[in-house]
Chain A
Amino acid sequence: MSTGLRYKSKLATPGEPGACPRARARLCPRRPPASHRVFPSLPRTPARTRTPTRPRPRRGQAGESGLGKSTLVHSLFLTDLYKDRKLLSAEERISQTVEILKHTVDIEEKGVKLKLTIVDTPGFGDAVNNSECWKPITDYVDQQFEQYFRDESGLNRKNIQDNRVHCCLYFISPFGHGLRPVDVGFMKALHEKVNIVPLIAKADCLVPSEIRKLKERIREEIDKFGIHVYQFPECDSDEDEDFKQQDRELKESAPFAVIGSNTVVEAKGQRVRGRLYPWGIVEVENQAHCDFVKLRNMLIRTHMHDLKDVTCDVHYENYRAHCIQQMTSKLTQDSRMESPIPILPLPTPDAETEKLIRMKDEELRRMQEMLQKMKQQMQDQ
């Protein structure tokens, strides 16, 4: 049910096993991870206590065109999501508004399945007049919250799909001297709705001293403008020293200076992901070259669950409280009886959703029938 797909993906739709071998291969790097925590918090997932739904993080990304967002997504998840993408020409860009493109991919590693949805925002910041260019994005985030709110308040709560955006990767241009007005505008519009992780894109055009200065500058400006970016949680005092050291390094490197690449090059006799320049080779997974490994570890290995928690406990709750307040104030205005359970007016479902609902109902009925049969059989025995 990925709406708005503009291109045919070569990957499987969720549920088709074995159709995307590349996506399944090598989520872990060649070197063994320093921390042994691959999906550490999955056993503690509250989702497990409901039905065995798979963890499904949803990631949005925003930033001007040409900052390497798509390439970075390739590198992070080692998947080729945008193979058939058509880049717009200049004429087409002039009349373009910001689009929202969703792409879902299933990743599996050692029996643990991950349903990942990437939301891309082509056209952001491209126009001459970028006033409110973040509006389509805030609308999208709100829409997902609203959908979840409806589902949560609805009758059939067993199959709620969590489409809320758990993390937003914001790509800051390395060519500026800090945050641009568009960057500040976007982050202020979204920092109360979604976890924002700012990144410095295309970091291979900066020398180390410039990266340091830029990071300091960005941190200062984030404080100055009162932007609430995603804060890494404090680690517990009973964690081992290694982990604490890693955590410290992580916090000090924010915002991460990243480089992405889809090409494999030969460096020092090894085949690595990198970019080949006449003056040298940039290795994406070399910690001395960029913070890509830190970002990947943070997003997937150590902080994925925390991102989802903060989305559920903080951003969604804020949205929900705000929504309920609005509704109750509207009800009192209409001078009707105050309902303790806020009931949202049911939307008129479109044909596709109706079909899906019918399908799900059929499935449920079939499963119930099967259960009945099995119970009968057991009783007969």
Chain B
Amino acid sequence: MDPLRQSPSPCSSRPSSPKTPPCEIHGYVGIEDVLDQVKIKAMKMGFEFNIMVVGQSGLGKSTMVSTLFKSKVWKCTLPGLGMPIPQTLQLKSVTHVIEEKGVKLKLTVTDTPGFGDQINNDKCWDPILGYINEQYERYLQEEILITRQRHIPDTRVHCCVYFVPPTGHCLRPLDIELLQRLCRTVNVVPVIARADSLTLEEREAFRRRIQHNLRTHCIEVYPQKCFDEDINDRILNSKIRDRIPFAVVGSDQEYLVNGRCVLGRKTKWGIIEVENMAHCEFLLLRDLLIRSHLQDLKDITHNVHYENYRVCRLNESHVLPRGPCWVNLAPTPPGPPVAPGPSKVCRQAREDSDDDEDDY
């Protein structure tokens, strides 16, 4: 088992002990109907997904969210449009329940207007990290209660989409500072915003340079290499990693192209179709976030990032868990605890739990 992976989540399909021998069955039992049961339960409960969009104003964050979920997520005027740039970074969250074919999704979108807009952007990432850690704290507090709720409301940020301005050169110092800090706390998917200002060659060159910058600064964006479980995952995720950051264009206006109604932007020299792979990579982003990796994003948030936070908090309060009893936590210290990279904390947690076992 990969030593960097934390303990498996309750819904993981891995066997509890690697040593259980497989047993042959001689007829049809009907085990596969479990899938139907899971499906019925899931349809009843619905899914939760929390996404955060980070980037300078005017990069199309709000439009992108509306395009992704094909609904007017921001019911009132789009935040930031027509309004003065706020002096400090203010996070705004909005929650909607979207339903498709009986499946309910409770979607929470957090926007960050004012990020990186000031003259002095030093420490402008603190409110963002503070918010993310606050959600972890909330979940932790619910989890350690003696009588806890059956279903703890999950407000933790499952995915953070970072919008890189399409300069065409490389990542700016501000981008690097933020990404270094964010990647340790949350799943980050960087995208090249407003990609309709770059030609295809410029996009490729920009993408390669960004990938190089990310490698140089050891920034692990989602899907992280260290969490690939098996060879299939690795193959699928390598394809995605090769295309990250996706060059995206967002729009909530429809135009008629070749008899079809498409989402796009109409300029004097042509119509940019948002869902056309030849024009931009919006479809790749949508598929990653919603169609193929939504559950994985939630799993990694729960099993890795949240666990890291939990371990840090428990270490701070100097009381380690002993068996099934609950934990006496000291009150939250001021400021977010600085969590080191996922791999380091995983190894430390493993050592701690080993020490614990020795004590008994």
Contacts and interface: CB of A to CB of B under 8 A. Distances in A.
Interface in A218-249: none
A173 B271 contact: no
Contacts of A173: 58, 165
Contact of A277 (B56, B167, B176, B196): B196
B190 to A, nearest CB: 13
B33 interface: no
Nearest to A95: B173
Contacts of A185: 119
Contacts of B193: 175
Contacts of A175: 56, 58-59, 165-166, 193-194
B225 interface: no
Interface in B183-212: 193-194, 196-197, 199-200
B119 A181 contact: yes
Contact of A129 (B120, B165, B166): B120
A90 B269 contact: no
Contacts of A202: 197
B57 A277 contact: no
Contact of A176 (B58, B196, B200): B58
Contacts of A279: 267, 269-273, 279
B266 interface: yes
Interface of B is mostly: loop
Given A278-B200, A278-B279, A279-B273, A93 B172 contact: yes
B62 to A, nearest CB: 11
A87 B270 CA distance: 31
B170 interface: yes
A281 interface: yes
B106 interface: no
Interface string A345-356: 000000000000
B286 to A, nearest CB: 19
Contact of B121 (A90, A129, A205): A129
> Of residues A126, A127, A177, which shows the largest number of chain B Cβ atoms within 10 Å of its Cβ?
A177
Contacts of B241: none
A283 B168 CA distance: 20
A94 B176 CA distance: 10
Contact of B269 (A126, A130, A281): A281
Contacts of A94: 173, 176
B269 A89 contact: no
A131 interface: yes
A128 B174 contact: yes
Nearest to A67: B167
A174 B57 CA distance: 11
A181 B118 contact: yes
A177 B173 contact: no
Interface in A179-205: 180-182, 185, 202, 204-205
A150 interface: no
Interface string B24-63: 0000000000000000000000000000000011110000
A185 B117 CA distance: 13
Contacts of B57: 176-177
Interface range on chain B (Cβ under 8 Å from partner): 35 or more
A238 to B, nearest CB: 36
B266 A207 contact: yes
A278 B56 CA distance: 27
Contacts of A208: 267-268
Interface in A267-290: 275-283, 288-289
Nearest to B167: A66
B268 to A, nearest CB: 6
A90 B170 contact: yes
Given A180-B117, A205-B197, A66 B168 contact: yes
Interface in B238-276: 265-273, 276
A139 interface: no
Interface stretch (B80-88, B130-138, B302-310, B343-351): B80-88
A120 interface: no
B249 to A, nearest CB: 9
B161 to A, nearest CB: 16
B122 interface: yes
B58 A130 contact: no
A90 B213 contact: yes
A83 B213 CA distance: 24
A181 B85 CA distance: 9
Contact of B119 (A91, A182, A277): A182
Contacts of A133: 119
B278 interface: yes
Contact of B172 (A126, A177, A277, A283): A126
A254 to B, nearest CB: 20
Contact of A289 (B165, B216, B268): B268
B269 A282 contact: yes
B172 A90 contact: yes
B68 interface: no
A282 B267 CA distance: 10
Contacts of A281: 269
B287 interface: no
Nearest to A130: B119
A90 B173 contact: yes
A65 interface: yes
Given A90-B216, A128-B121, A177-B58, A278 B278 contact: yes
Given A66-B167, A181-B119, A205-B197, A90 B278 contact: no
Interface of A: 64-67, 87, 89-91, 93-94, 126-131, 133, 173-177, 180-182, 185, 202, 204-205, 207-208, 275-283, 288-289
Given A66-B167, A177-B83, A204-B267, 10 more contacts: A87-B170, A90-B172, A90-B217, A94-B176, A128-B122, A130-B119, A176-B56, A176-B58, A180-B85, A202-B197
What 8 A-B pairs are tightest by C-beta distance, nearest first? A66-B167, A280-B270, A205-B197, A280-B269, A279-B270, A175-B58, A176-B58, A94-B173
10 contacts: A90-B172, A90-B173, A90-B176, A175-B165, A177-B57, A181-B118, A277-B199, A278-B200, A280-B269, A281-B269
